[in-house]
A and B are shown apart, each in its own frame.
Chain A
Amino acid sequence: MLFEKKQPLNLLICPSCKGTGIVGMSGCSECRGKSVGYRPRQKLLHWSFPLTRYNLALLKAKRIFNKIRRITFVVLWLNAWGWFGFLIYKKVIWADVIKGPEYMWNALNNVEGSSWILFWLGVIFISYWTYRVITERKIKGEVEKYSYDVQMTAAENQILTDWKQIEKISGRQSLNISSSFTDEALAAVGEAYEMADRNGYKILEVEHLFFALLSFNRIGNIFVRLGIPASVIKKYLLPILENKKGKVEKRIGEAPLVSPDFFQALFGAYEESYSAHQEYVSVTELLVAAAKQSEMLQEMLYDVGIEKNKLVNAVEWARIGERLYRRYVTHSRSASHRSKSGMDKAMTALATPYLNNFSDDMTLLAQYGRLEFCVARDKVIEEVFRAVEGGGENVVLVGEHGAGKRSVVEGIAEKMINEDVPSRLRDKRLVRLSVSSLLSGTTPAGAIERLLHILNEISNARNVVLFIHNIHEMSGVSAGEEGGSLDLSDTLAERLKTGRFITIATTTPEFYAKNISGTSLSNIFTKVDVKELTEDEAIQVVESKIGLVEYKNKVFFAYNAIEKAVQLASRYLHEVCLPGSALEVINESAAHVRNKKGNESLVTAEDVAKVVSDKTGIPVTSVTADESGKLMKLEQEMHKRVIGQEEAVGLIANALRRARAQIRSTNRPIANFLFLGPTGVGKTELAKTISTVYFGGEDMMVRLDMSEYQDKTSVYRLIGAPGEKGSGILTEAVRRQPFSLLLLDEIEKADPNILNLFLQVMDDGRLTDSSGQVIDFTNVILIATSNAGTTYVQEQMRAGLSSEAIKERLLHGELKQNFRPEFLNRFDGIVLFKPLAYDDVKKIAALMLQRITKELEEKGIETVIEDEALDFLAGVGFDPEFGARPLRRAIQERIENQLAEMLLSNKLKRRDKIAIGRGGYIRVIN
C-alpha cells in the first residue's frame, strides 16, 4: 500500500521574499518576516525562520558558541572558587577557627580583598551560567493544544490569498511554527539547506530534508528497526537527488530557493504533531511529513519494502519510547507523594488486615512501578470513569481472553496514583481480590463467611476500590472435602447493591451471558465492553512492551517481526485475543532466537513465522526452494497414489498452491470441494493423499462419516451439547487441529439441517460451538464426497455422454434432489470422478501389490510381480459398478491368503525370492 494522496495545505508563500523572510539584507516588508502563512482552526501559522545561508550559518555557529560559553563559565567559576579556597587555606590559621564562630568570622575578615574578588567573580560566573541554562532550556513555543471541538479538514480551513489579510489578524492568534520545532528538527532543516547549497542544487527539495534526516540517530534507529540501515536508503536516494539536479542549472554563488513542497512538509510536520497531541515538532514528524509529501520518496521506500503503515508504526515505536519515559518520570514523582501504608491522606480510612490476606494492592504495586504501562486503552478507561462519575458503583469489563481487561484496570491504578481520575476515585486504593486465596482450604460456606468479612472491612475502610478479576470464578463454586456447592455471586450481589464502595470486575462475554446477565449481578453492574484491538493498535501495544522482552532475552526485534507476530496471531491464533496472542508469539520468538542465534541477535519476521508454524502446524514461513519445487510437482506426487482422475487432482493441486503462496481469501476455508462419483473410484483415497502430501500425514485429516448424522439432533454431536464445553466432535477436532483436511464422507446421507451448518463454514470459515466459542475453519480444506446420482452418471456414461455434459445435467437435475442450490453453490469445485477403466484397475492393482511387496521386503523376501498377475487381478477385481473396491477383496483372497499360508508353513524364508504370476499363483524362484 502506498501512502495516501496528501491534500496540499493552503499555504501562502510571500512572493517578494520567496518564503525566506528576507529581501536583500533586510526583512521583507510585504510579509514582515512571516515568509509563509497558513490559516487553520482560526489561527495564523507562519514560518518566521529565515531559510538563508546567513541565518542558518549563524544558527549553527550559535549552537556551538553556546556550548563553548556554558563550559567556559563553569570552568571560570570552578577556577575562581578553587583559587579562593586555596588562598583561604593558606591564610587562615585553622587552630583558631575551630575555637568558635567569632574566631571564624575574624579569620574570614582577615582574608585579603583580592581573594574576595575571586569569590564574588565566582558568584557572577555561576549566576551567568544559570541564566544561560535557563534561557536556553526555555521552550520557545509549543504546538497548539489539541482541540476535540475543532476538527476541520484541510479544505475547510480558511484560504489566505494575500498578505494584507494577515495584518488584521491579532498577535494572539498567530503562531510561529518554527518555534515549536525542537533544536534537532531545526538542525535537520538547516542541514538539508546546507547540503543542497553545497552540492549546487538550485532548489531545496523535500528529498534533501529526508536525506539530512537520515543522519540523525533517532531516524537511523527507526530504519534499523525496519530492517534497512539509513546508509542503504541514502544510496537509493542519491540518484533521485541527482535526477532532480539535472533539470535546473544553478548559477555559481546563487543560494538555493525553497520549494513549495518543502514548506508543505514543514507545515505538514506541524500538523502531524498537532494531531498526535504532541507539544513540539521533532525529527520523526518531519520524516513522516517529508515521506508523505514526495511521491518519489514513497516509490523509493516502497521499493525497499517500507509501506505507509510500516513507517508510521515504526515512528510510533520511537515516540512510544519517549512517551513512556516521560510518563515514568511524572509517575514516579506523583508516586513519591502517596502513602505506602494504604491510608488516605486525611486518615479517615480503616486498616484492612483481613482483606490484605486475600488481596493485592494494585495502587501500591503501581506506586512501586510493578505494573506495566497501559497503552492504547484510553477510550475504555474513559468509559469506566464516565460510568463511575455517573453514579455507577459497579463496573464490569467484558472482553475475550487477552483483550486487555487487566491492562485497563492497571491503567486505572496508574491514573489513580497520578490523581488523574474522577473525584470519587481520588485518594483511594485499588485492591484486587484473589478468588483463589478466598476459596482455598475452606468449604463454600467458609468462603462465604470470608467474603462477608472482607466486604464488611471494605465498606468500613471507605478508601478501597475493589477489583475482582474474572468474577465468574465466584459462581458455582464447590470446594473443600465436605463438598457442597454454593454461589458466592449472590452474597456478592447483595452487598454490592448497598453501593458503599466501588467495584470493578472483569469477565468474558461467554461468562457474562451465562453467569451475570439475567442473574442478581446484572442489575448492579454497568457493562463496559473491552473489544479486541485492531492490528495497528496491537502493534503499538506490542511496541510499548517490547523493551522488557528485549531486555529479558537480550535480543532485538525488527519492526517486521512485530508486524508479522500481530498479523499471524490475529490470523491463526484464535484462542486468545489481540494483543495477548501476539505478545505470546513475541515472547516465544525471543526465547527461540536467543537459544538458536545467541545473545544480541535480531528477531526477524521469518523467526516469528517459524514459531507460529511450530505452534499451529500451519506453514506460514516463506516458501523455500525445496518446497516450491515440491509444490510445482504436486500433481505427480499425488498421482503416485491416485490413479486417473486428472481433473480432480489438478483442481486440488492448484488450490494447495494458491494457499501456500498466500493468494487466497483469508476469511473462508482454503478450498471447498465436492467429489461426486460411484463407490471405489478413489474419492477418499484422494482426500487421504492430500492429507499426507500437504498436511503432513493421514492423521491430519478430520473424517466424519455423515451417515452417522441422519437426524436433526445430531447437530449437537457436531458442535457440542448446550452448556457442555468442548463436546462437539467437529468443533473440537478443528479447534485442536486448525490446519487440517475436513472430509465429510457420503454427505448426501446427512440430515439437511446439518448441511445448513456447513453453509456458514464454507462461506465465512467459522462456526460457533455450543458454548459460544468461534472456531476458525479458514485453514482447512473441506472435501465432501457423495455418490448421489451415481446410477444416473453410469447410465449416461454408457450412453456416451461427455463428463462435462453429465455434470451439467447432474447439477440441474439429479443433485437437486439431495442438495439445495445454495449448498452446491458454495463449493469451489464439483468434481466428477470417472468410473475406472480396465487399465486404471490394473494400475491400482500394481499399487496395491506394491504395498504387499514392501511388507515382504521387511521380512527379507523379494517379490517380482508379473504382468499376467496384474491382468488376472484386474479381471477378477474389476466391476464397473463397485470400482476398485472388489480389487482389494480379490487381492486379499487370491494373494494375501496364499502368502499367509506359505509364511505359516515355513515355505518362505528370509532371502527367498518369489514371483506372483498367472492366476495369482505364487512361486518361489530362488
Chain B
Amino acid sequence: MFFLVLQRLFFGAVIDILYFPIWWYIGGTKHAAIWCLQLLKKGNDTLAPALWLQNIFVPMYGQYDWQGRIISFLVRSAQVFVRSLALVLWLAVCWLLLLIWLAMPLVTAYGLLKSVIKL
C-alpha cells in the first residue's frame, strides 16, 4: 500500500509539472482575467464617471441657482472627462497585467533558451 501511494504521488507530481504550462493558458488565464476584471470594477467604483455623467445637469452641493447650475455643469463636465481618462488608463493597466500573464511563459522560455545558448 505504502509503495502504491508513493508511486501514485510520484506520477501525479510528474504529470502535474507537465500540466502546469497548459493550465497557465486555460485555468490560469481565466483566473487572471477574472482578477483583472475585478480590478477594473474597483477602478470604476472609485472613479465612477458614469455616475457623474448621469448627474451632469444636477447642481453640485445643492446649489440650485443658475450660477450654481452653470458652474456645476462645467465642473461636472471636466470631472467626467478626467475620470473617464483615468479609467481608460486604468483599463490599460488591467490589460497590461493580463498581457504580462499571457506573455510570461513565452518570455521565460525565450530568456532561458537565450541564456543556455549564451553558455
Contact = CB atoms under 8 A, between A and B. Distances in A.
B24 A54 contact: no
Given A116-B115, A124-B108, A348-B60, A134 B28 contact: yes
B20 interface: yes
Nearest to A116: B115
B59 to A, nearest CB: 8
Contact of A113 (B28, B31, B46, B118): B118
B118 A112 contact: yes
B5 A57 contact: yes
Nearest to B59: A348
Interface stretch (A61-69, A439-447, A777-785): A61-69
Contacts of A346: 48, 51-52, 54-55, 58
A58 B119 contact: no
Interface in B64-119: 104-105, 108, 111-112, 114-119
Contacts of B17: 128
B118 A348 contact: no
Describe B's contact surface by its main secondary structure: helix
B112 A121 contact: yes
B118 A351 contact: no
Interface residues of B, number: 38
Contact of A350 (B1, B52, B61, B108): B61
Contacts of A345: 48, 51
Given A131-B28, A346-B52, A65 B112 contact: no
A540 B52 CA distance: 44
Contacts of A514: none
A707 to B, nearest CB: 71
7 contacts: A58-B9, A114-B119, A116-B118, A120-B111, A127-B105, A128-B17, A460-B62
Contacts of B45: 337
Contacts of A114: 115, 119
A62 to B, nearest CB: 7
A54 B115 CA distance: 45
Interface string A446-489: 00000000000000111000000000000000000000000000
Interface string A133-168: 011000000000000000000000000000000000
Given A113-B116, A131-B23, 12 more contacts: A53-B1, A54-B5, A69-B13, A113-B118, A117-B115, A120-B115, A123-B111, A128-B20, A131-B24, A346-B48, A346-B51, A462-B62
A116 B111 contact: yes
A347 interface: yes
Contact of B112 (A53, A120, A348): A120
A114 B114 CA distance: 10
Nearest to A113: B118
A123 B54 contact: no
A346 B117 CA distance: 59
A349 interface: yes
A854 to B, nearest CB: 84
Given A57-B1, A116-B111, A127-B24, A349 B8 contact: no
B84 to A, nearest CB: 15
B14 interface: no
Contact of B5 (A61, A347, A348): A61
A345 B58 CA distance: 13
B4 interface: yes
**Contact-size category for A:** 20 to 34
A328 B115 CA distance: 49
Nearest to A117: B115
Nearest to B4: A54
Nearest to A112: B118
Contact of B108 (A53, A69, A127, A348): A127
Given A54-B4, A134-B31, A347-B61, A337 B46 contact: yes
A120 B28 contact: no
Contacts of B117: 113
Contacts of B48: 345-346
Interface string B34-68: 00000000000110100110110011111000000
B13 to A, nearest CB: 7
B58 A348 contact: yes
A892 B47 CA distance: 97
A534 B23 CA distance: 52
Interface in A322-372: 337, 345-351
Contact of B23 (A112, A124, A135): A135
Given A120-B115, A348-B60, A58 B55 contact: no
B62 A348 contact: yes
A349 B62 CA distance: 6
The 9 A-B residue pairs with the shortest CB-CB distance, nearest first, are A113-B118, A350-B62, A116-B115, A120-B112, A113-B115, A346-B55, A120-B111, A113-B119, A117-B115
B23 A127 contact: no
B108 A117 contact: no
Contacts of B13: 65, 69
A70 to B, nearest CB: 12
Interface string B2-27: 00111011001100010010011001
Contacts of B8: 58
Contacts of B115: 113-114, 116-117, 119-120
- Residue with the greatest number of chain B CB neighbours at <10 A, chosen from A61, A134, A346, A460: A346
A347 B116 contact: no
A286 B98 CA distance: 41
B62 to A, nearest CB: 3
Contacts of B51: 345-346
Nearest to B63: A350
Contacts of A349: 61-62
Interface string A91-133: 0000000000000000000001110110111011001100100
Contacts of B108: 120, 123-124, 127
Contact of A65 (B9, B60, B104): B9
Nearest to B6: A61
Contacts of B111: 116, 119-120, 123
Contacts of A113: 114-119
Contacts of B1: 53-54, 57
A462 B58 CA distance: 12
B83 to A, nearest CB: 11
A58 B10 CA distance: 11
Interface in A55-91: 57-58, 61-62, 65, 69
Nearest to A333: B42
B56 to A, nearest CB: 10
A351 to B, nearest CB: 7
Nearest to A346: B55
A348 B55 contact: yes
Nearest to B119: A113
- Residue with the greatest number of chain B CB neighbours at <10 A, chosen from A121, A127, A351: A127
A774 B67 CA distance: 61
A55 to B, nearest CB: 10
Nearest to A64: B9
A634 B87 CA distance: 85
A278 to B, nearest CB: 24
A345 B31 CA distance: 31
Contacts of A112: 118
A53 B4 CA distance: 11
B62 A58 contact: no
Contacts of B61: 347-351
